[in-house]
Structure 1
């Protein structure tokens, strides 16, 4: 039931006018100017004016405030009054409804894209994501924060996200823009499962951004070039540990990040195997690397052990961190190899090219050694066991082969199917 105490001031038949509201003068004590249907203007001695409504609900008298004039005009106050009366007609307390809406608004404000993104990053870090994966996620998402970071994640629309991504794309960083969209999609999916968003708007933007043509990382891929590269590494006059890392990388051809983060505890020299934990791998699956006699010899040249640093290749600044991600590429630049000629990642392309050219190794065994994931989980599990013995032989053969290339020996390949002249 609507109602409330009588007010000392009354308005005309049609209620207050905008002029009457504007001209209301403050007095020594607060007073009310009634409008209609229970709406009134409370005028404070300070001159501040509030729109209010008195009503009864559940046998109790209550007062609902609609805000201050002139922020809320007379017409807007009447609309808010009508909304409140409709709630009362449905048996809903408008004051309690206003309190719930305020809580929802507060939650929405705290559930910003950035706050949820920070939660998601902390989650994957706790779950054991590779440090480089966590670092890249932070870097990518930080680029979108200026546009949508403070926005409630449930209110972000696909067009709004697209506009933010287009700003990155406009700088011609096409790959970065696409990777940001992917990272945003993961944040939205996390928000959905944690009941703070209804849908993944980033998924709606698949195909909306420019997708650049894949550009393969620079790498030398011929025997002659490989020999020159390996001899140059032997003559490297920088930090000895950097030279050791490059030499080992040529034999094991793992991803540079996997080598930089290598720890002593991962190596079983008696079994001649290096087992890289899943969190350090790109695909999140543990990977075993057979170690050739040459690889083990190179490991023996490292002067420190786990008591000095858990890492084979620690940073010069902190023994608790691995070497910088730019160290190996910088060393290649110092050796005279431009960034469009050779990168640390290029050792993988070199090994893949020459091993396939040999024609004596199963291509699937080569792929397994490169840790290229098979989309079929049953086939992937089968391949791990089937090709292990071949991979052991292949890795020793590879080390012997690149030793020959380093020495400048000519590699003679058989020409099957051709008769001697």
Structure 2
């Protein structure tokens, strides 16, 4: 039975979406929120398709039927009205901006290829859109791309320049796929000329750890950064895991830090067992957090954590003038792993503490979490780091530990 205006006005939301038919493929879908949407269902080349026409009551019953008839005419001519709408929505090379196309790219490509899109999104918002976001996609030149990439390189961030180049390439590859441009302007700048990744092997010696921590706490960087650098060394976590940490994840009573799956690189939850030293650092960070839900709230607002590169910059500042080879924050994890192995701690216990995925047959059959051993090991590590700051000479011993 065809719909009437009275019947449409009487529609009520339910716990789940439901549909009410009009005629000749036209129907409305009613959502639990109360929204009512017109849709048209049809078959083309043996395949059923549907087209969203608009929302009721903005689109009246009379006008919905007119749009249904227009779509039916296209179907009769062998043309899919749903595909026509999608192409119109995507825009044309003449009017779509980089900012608009980037949103589509993140929904249709990035979100499907990556579970966590926060990092590429940060590079897009900070290093790409402020400079070319308002440009039309078809007008982006190789010189635009070079300017963006070399801006990062000139500030000493070669690896970040490589990330920007990679993100731009994927964005423009998709623009080629969608017919917005004929050629990708990023291809004129090969990655080997931007950044060539090298396998990292840098580890700090015990003496270098002492110099690093002493220099950090004597520097003029923010107190939060001093504590954060020390805490990363003690807990062996990734920088992003600390920056995204919230106080709800920290259980002082149990001495545990629960890293949720969404904050973990492995995509799985991870427990960090906190030494007495780590708990002391968290206690001071809580006082500095000013009531924020984040362990490391940013400078301008307590509702967001510090920017991803803030700790990198703090480390560089702290090490200025120090007679110590350069290293990255991630090298602190490698340093902890190396020294713990040298002190006789089993590899599987160290790998679990680092939140690494154990590969091969061992990874398949070894499901142990080594909670007690990890707790003991991290307390040993906290005591060892303490000794570096109090002893003028540190002698590494080898202690046989059984997993």
- State whether TM-score is above 0.5: yes
The answer on 1:358 being equivalent to 2:340 is: no
- Corresponding residue of 2:275: 292
SS in 2 for 1:320: coil
State how far apart, in whole Å, the 2-side matches of 1:244 and 1:104 are.
49
- Corresponding residue of 1:227: 210
Cα 1:355/1:347, change in 2 over 3 Å: same
The answer on 1:260 being equivalent to 2:209 is: no
- TM-score calculated relative to the size of structure 2: 0.57
State how far apart, in whole Å, the 1-side matches of 2:200 and 2:160 are.
16
1:319-358 aligned at under 5 Å gives the runs: 319-324=302-307, 325-327=309-311, 329-330=313-314, 333-334=317-318, 336=320, 341-358=326-343
Cα 1:106/1:311, change in 2 over 3 Å: closer
- Number of residues of Structure 1 aligned to a counterpart in Structure 2: 306
State how far apart, in whole Å, the 1-side matches of 2:303 and 2:388 are.
36
- Corresponding residue of 1:9: none
Cα 1:144/1:213, change in 2 over 3 Å: same
- Corresponding residue of 1:48: none
**Residue 371 (structure 1) aligned to one of 347, 355, 359:** 355
Q: Which runs of 5+ in 2 are unaligned?
A: 1-76, 78-83
Provide the alpha-carbon RMSD of the alignment.
5.0
Cα 1:186/1:289, change in 2 over 3 Å: farther
Cα 1:300/1:375, change in 2 over 3 Å: same
Larger radius of gyration: 1
Deviations 1:201-248 (A, max 9, x none): 98x97x953164434679661112212323344545654333322332
- Corresponding residue of 1:34: none
SS in 1 for 2:287: coil
Deviations 1:305-333 (A, max 9, x none): 88811112222322112234325642552
- Corresponding residue of 2:226: 243
Cα 1:213/1:341, change in 2 over 3 Å: same
Cα 1:260/1:279, change in 2 over 3 Å: same
State how far apart, in whole Å, the 1-side matches of 2:99 and 2:121 are.
15
Cα 1:283/1:340, change in 2 over 3 Å: farther
Deviations 1:117-141 (A, max 9, x none): 2234468689984644420243465
- Corresponding residue of 1:314: 297
- Corresponding residue of 2:167: 183
SS in 1 for 2:368: helix
Cα 1:162/1:311, change in 2 over 3 Å: same
- Could you tell me how far 1:265 is from its partner in structure 2? 0.9
Q: Which runs of 5+ in 1 are unaligned?
A: 1-91, 93-98, 153-159, 417-421
SS in 1 for 2:355: coil
- Corresponding residue of 2:125: 138
The answer on 1:209 being equivalent to 2:191 is: yes
State how far apart, in whole Å, the 1-side matches of 2:336 and 2:262 are.
24
State how far apart, in whole Å, the 2-side matches of 1:234 and 1:397 are.
22
